[in-house]
Amino acid sequence: MCSTSSSKPLVSVITPVFNGERFIQRVVNSVSQQNFSVQHIIVDDCSTDDSWNLLESLTTKFPWLKPIRLNKNSGPVLARNEAIKNASGRYIAFLDVDDFWLPGKLSTQISFMEENNCGISFTDYRFVSENGAFIGPRIKGFNSIGDHLHHMTRYLGCLTIVIDREKYPNFLIPDISPAYRAEDFLAWRDYMLQVGEPALRCPHDLARYSVVQNSRSSKPLRAAKSVWLLYRDVERLSLLKSLFYFSCYLAFSFLKRKIYKPQLKREKVDSGDIAWSIIK
């Protein structure tokens, strides 16, 4: 159960949602198991399914849940920033609607940050199938990621990040146009540059990243193109530096997908729907 103790610093959990009704109960339950002082802000980006009605109904059971509904579909950057602007917590944590945390994630990570005077941290995690049934190997990252390594690997998983706003009070997700699917990457980069600290690894397996069919992260070629455009058009890095970072990113991304993701295949079932199962 979430704690309401004033002795613990408040964590504002940021979750954007668009037509994520099937995941909402799981992500809310995940936060409810943290045994920590939380405020869970879920921003409904004008969903066309029953997401909003479900969120409203859940507030009676979970008083720390704060749903916000946007007037028009605006994308994840605006949704996350709207949540941050309404956040009361000293700490900001990010959790997309289709992902989830293990119990105790926040207490373990916040304790680590306090012990190490750390303003931005990340944890180990695993890829899982959409229904959570199949799980990949534990992704163990570097113990410290600064700006240089951040560009080489793009390793930091949004669902594992916690930021201390006492060190960076004006933290927001950069809103670039076109977005190039890089808003979270730029947010962590901005922290490193503005505060002058690397992101530190809390060495515990505490989160699960769902491999969802047709999600933004499921299209590697489009992702690679967006990374190149980010380096060249947004950050305006030199051609040589862009080529170096991009080559490192491609190699690391290939290994990450090859080693860590659950190997899934599509199987026709009697109903004609698509089911996902592990490749034996």
Beta strands 264-268 and 274-278 are antiparallel
Residue 154 belongs to some domain of the structure: yes
Tens digits of per-residue pLDDT, 212-261?
765 555 467 788 888 898 899 889 999 999 999 999 999 988 888 788 87
Kindly state whether residue 64 falls inside one of the protein's structural domains.
yes
Domains identified in the chain, total number: 1
Confidence of residue 186 (pLDDT cuts 50, 70, 90): very high
pTM recorded for the entire structure: 0.87
* 43: CATH: 3.90.550.10
Using pLDDT thresholds of 50, 70 and 90, give the confidence band for residue 1. low
Parent domain of 125: 11-213
Q: Is residue 273 part of a domain?
A: no
In-domain check, residue 274: no
Residue 200 counted as domain residue = yes
Task: Please indicate, yes or no, if residue 230 is contained in any of the structural domains.
Answer: no
As a whole number of angstroms, the distance between CA 13 and CA 110 comes to 13
177 Cβ contact list (under 8 Å, min separation 6): none
Within a domain: residue 79? yes
Q: What is the DSSP letter of 116?
A: T
Asked if 91 and 11 count as a contact pair (C-beta separation under 8 A), the reply is yes
* Stretch 184-195: mean pLDDT: 93
Strand, helix or coil at 48? coil
**Position 113 in a domain:** yes
Q: How far apart are CA 52 and CA 72, in angstroms?
A: 13
Task: Look at residue 280 in the predicted model and tell me its pLDDT.
Answer: 25
pLDDT at residue number 167: 95
Residue whose tokens read 């004609």: 272
CA dist., res. 92 & res. 218, Å (int): 26
Report the share of the chain in percent with pLDDT over 90: 69
